[in-house]
Amino acid sequence: MGRHIAFVNIPAIGHVFPTLAVVQELTRRGHRVTYGTTESRRAALAEAGAAVHAYRSLRPPDSDPTVRAPDRSGYISHSLLSFLEEAEAAYAQLAPVYRDDPPDLVVFDRMAFAGRVLAARMELPSVQLWPMLVSNEHWSMAQALNAFDPTDPVLHTYLAKLERFLGTHCPALAPEEFLSPQPEAHLAFYPRAFQYAGERFGPGYRFVGPCLRRTPLRWRPPRDRDVILVTLGTIYNARPDFYRYCADAFAGSDWHVVLAVGERIDLDALGRLPRNVELHRFVPQLDVLAHATALICHAGMGGVMEAMSHGVPVLAAPQTLEQEANALRVEELSLGVRLPAGLTDPGALKDTVELMVKDPAIGDGVDHLRRAVATAGGAARAADIIEDCLT
C-alpha cells in the first residue's frame, strides 16, 4: 500500500526540477506525493504525478527583468535571511494543510527551511535534498571561498529571526539542531566524485547523481556543425551583453550556437544575430546536450550534471558563490575550464572553447564523471532511499 510523501521546496527551477523524476518514480510505485511550492511549478509537478499545495512566495517571478546576481560580499548571510523569510511565509500557509492531511515522511530541500520545521513539529521522518554542494566540518563553501563574515549584521538579524521562528512554531527544535539537521538521509543530486572531500561524508549522505527526466519536446541539430549550448540558467540570466558576446565569438564559424536566454530579457536587445546562431527562451536542454560538443553556462549544478551525463565539457561563467565553487570543481576535475575573469575579446572566447574540446585531459575527466553519473543510481535509487526512510 502506498504512503503519503510530502515534498517541500522553494520555487526555484534549479531546486524543483531535479526532483521531478524522483516524484514520478515514487508515484509510479504507488505512493501519494504532495508538493509544497508555488503555483508556477504546478504544471511540471502535476505531469510528474504530484498534487501541489501552492503557497504565495516572496521570491520574484521568473520573468522579472530586475533580478541580478547578488554582490558576493555578504552573499551567504543575505541568502540565509532571504530563505528564512521565504520559510516563514511558506510555513504559515503549508502547516494547516499538512495538519489536516498528515504525511508519512517529509522530503525537504536544503534551502526549504519550512519543510525542516514541519517535519520536526509533526515528529515525522525526513529526507534532506542537496541540489548544491554539501558542507560539513571537512569542507564548506563559506570556508573554501573565504565568504563568511561572522560579524556581518545581516547574519545576526538572521539568527535572531531564526530563534523567533523556531520559538513560535517548533520550540523543541533548538537553533543549533536546526542548523545541523540529522534527517534519516541526505540525498545529493550529483555523484560522490564531484563532492569536495567526498570520501569524508558518511553513509547518511547518498550521492544519487542527477535524476534526469526527458520532456516530450524535441530538438534537432543542424547537419555537419558542432553545437555549443549557451545558457545562464533561470535566475540570473538577464545578460544580453553575455549572449551577444557569445554570438559574436562564433559568428561565421563552423560552430552552431544555441542561445537559451530565459524570460528576463527583451529579445530585441540582442540585435541581429549571425546565421549560425539560434535564439530561444528555453530549449529541451537534454536534447540539445545529446548533440552538443560544448556547454557555456553559469556552472549551476543541474546544468553541469546534465552536461556530464552526455559527456560534454563545460566552459563555466559563474555569477554566485555557489556557482564559483562548482566552477572551481569543474576545473579541478578536468571537466572543463572557468571563463577567465575580464575576458572580453570574442576571438579569445572562441579559442578557449576550441582548446577545451580538444584537450585530452579534459576528455578523460569528462568521461570519468560521465561514468560516475551513469552508476550513481538516479531517480530509482533516490526512491529506494526515500522508501527505506518510511517507518
Backbone angles phi, psi at 197, to 5 degrees: 50, 40
DSSP labels, 12-41: -HHHHGGGHHHHHHHHHTT-EEEEEE-GGG
**For position 255, what pLDDT does the model report?**
98
Three-state SS at 279: strand
Calpha distance 346→352 (Å, rounded): 10
Residue 27's DSSP bridge partners are: none
| Helix and strand element counts for the chain (H, E) | 15, 13
Residues in contact with 72: Cβ distance below 8 Å, sequence separation at least 6, in sequence order:
147, 320, 321, 324
Give the per-residue pLDDT at 217.
64
Identify whether the C-beta of residue 382 lies closer than 8 Å to the C-beta of residue 28.
Answer: no
pLDDT of residue 165: 97
Q: Cα 138–320–287 angle (5° rounding)?
A: 100
Reduced DSSP (H G I as helix, E B as strand, rest coil) percent helix, strand, coil of the chain, to 5: 45, 15, 40
**Residues shown for the chain:** 391
Strand partners, 206: 187
| Inter-axis angle of helices 321-332 and 301-309, nearest 10 | 30
Q: Exposed, middle or buried: residue 225 (CB in 10 Å: 0-12, 13-18, 19+)? A: middle
Q: Tell which residue, 231, 239, 348, 317, has the closest CA to residue 278.
A: 231
247 beta partners? none
Report phi then psi at 304, rounded to 5.
Answer: -60, -45
Measure the CA–CA gap between 351 and 340, rounded to whole angstroms: 12
- Residue with the three cell numbers 511550492: 37
CA angle 136, 141, 146 (to 5 degrees): 120
Cα gap 119→181, rounded to integer Å? 11
Distance, CA of 78 to chain centre: 18
Residue 148 C-alpha cell reads as 563568511
Long-range contacts of 243-248 (CB under 8 A, 24+ apart): 243/270, 244/270, 244/271, 245/344, 245/346, 245/349, 246/296, 246/349, 247/273, 247/274, 247/277, 248/274, 248/346
pLDDT of residue 216: 66
- At residue 230, φ and ψ (nearest 5 deg) are -120, 125
- How is 117-145 classified by DSSP, letter by letter? HHHHHTT--EEEEESS----SS--HHHHT
Q: What is the pLDDT along the chain (391 residues), one digit of tens a residue?
A: 799 999 999 999 999 999 999 999 999 999 999 999 999 999 999 999 999 999 999 999 888 888 887 777 788 899 999 999 999 999 999 999 999 999 999 999 999 999 999 999 999 999 999 999 999 888 888 888 877 788 899 999 999 999 999 999 999 999 989 988 899 999 999 999 999 999 999 999 999 999 998 766 688 888 889 999 999 999 999 999 999 999 999 999 999 999 999 999 999 999 999 999 999 999 999 999 999 999 999 999 999 999 999 999 999 999 999 999 999 999 999 999 999 888 889 999 999 999 999 999 999 999 999 999 999 999 999 999 999 999 7
Domains and CATH numbers, the chain: 4-209+376-388 (3.40.50.2000), 226-375 (3.40.50.2000)
CA distances in angstroms from 190 to 176, 315, 330, 371, listed in the order given: 27, 18, 13, 12
Instruction: State the first-to-last Cα distance of the chain, in angstroms, to the nearest integer.
Output: 13
230-252 residues labelled b (16+ CB within 10 A) or e (exposed): bbbbbbbbbbbebbbbbbbbbbe
Half-sphere exposure of 215 (CA within 13 A, CB side): 16
Confidence (pLDDT) at 136: 86
Q: What is the pLDDT of residue 147?
A: 76
The pTM score is 0.95
